[in-house]
């Protein structure tokens, strides 16, 4: 585990750069994490990110892409446009939660 400063916040990261403690997350950290992967956050991004965080808190595990589509009502095609190539992994990264089970 690595400790890093992101947006003036000390955070614990795993070997892939995911936060290991979701309580260290804030919106400024999210914005910097998104910038790190080439994404500029819009209201549509925030809708997905907030759902991922709320669902993680409620369920105790990171939601899959299918769950975000079905429960949050955000079409898969839109998620791929917002978070290109690996939307579930990128949403989780920016949302400060572990990557979903089965993500490479």
* pLDDT at res. 102: 66
Query: Looking at the chain, which runs of residues are DSSP E strands?
Result: 2-6, 9-13
Evaluate if residue 98 carries a pLDDT over 70: yes
**Spatial distance between the Cα atoms of 28 and 15, rounded to a whole number of angstroms:** 21
Region of 8 on the Ramachandran plot (φ > 0 left; ψ -120 to 50 alpha; else beta): left
Question: What is the tens place of the pLDDT at every residue in 33-71?
Answer: 999 999 999 999 999 999 999 999 999 999 999 999 999
**Is 39 among the catalytic positions?**
no
Catalytic residue among 7, 13, 72, 103: 103
Confidence band, pLDDT 50/70/90 cuts, at residue 104: low
**Spatial distance between the Cα atoms of 49 and 26, rounded to a whole number of angstroms:** 11
Contacts of 45 (CB under 8 A, 6+ apart): 34, 39, 82, 83, 94
Q: What is the pTM of this model?
A: 0.92
């Amino acid at each position: 585990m690595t400790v890093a400063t992101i947006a003036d916040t000390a955070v614990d990261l795993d070997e892939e750069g995911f936060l290991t403690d979701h309580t260290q997350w804030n919106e400024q950290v999210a914005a910097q994490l998104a910038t790190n992967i080439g994404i500029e956050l819009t209201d549509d991004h925030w809708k997905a990110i907030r759902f991922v965080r709320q669902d993680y808190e409620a369920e105790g595990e990171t939601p899959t892409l299918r769950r975000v589509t079905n429960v949050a009502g955000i079409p898969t095609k839109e998620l791929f446009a917002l978070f290109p190539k690996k939307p579930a992994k990128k949403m989780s990264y920016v949302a400060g939660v572990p990557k979903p089970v089965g993500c490479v």
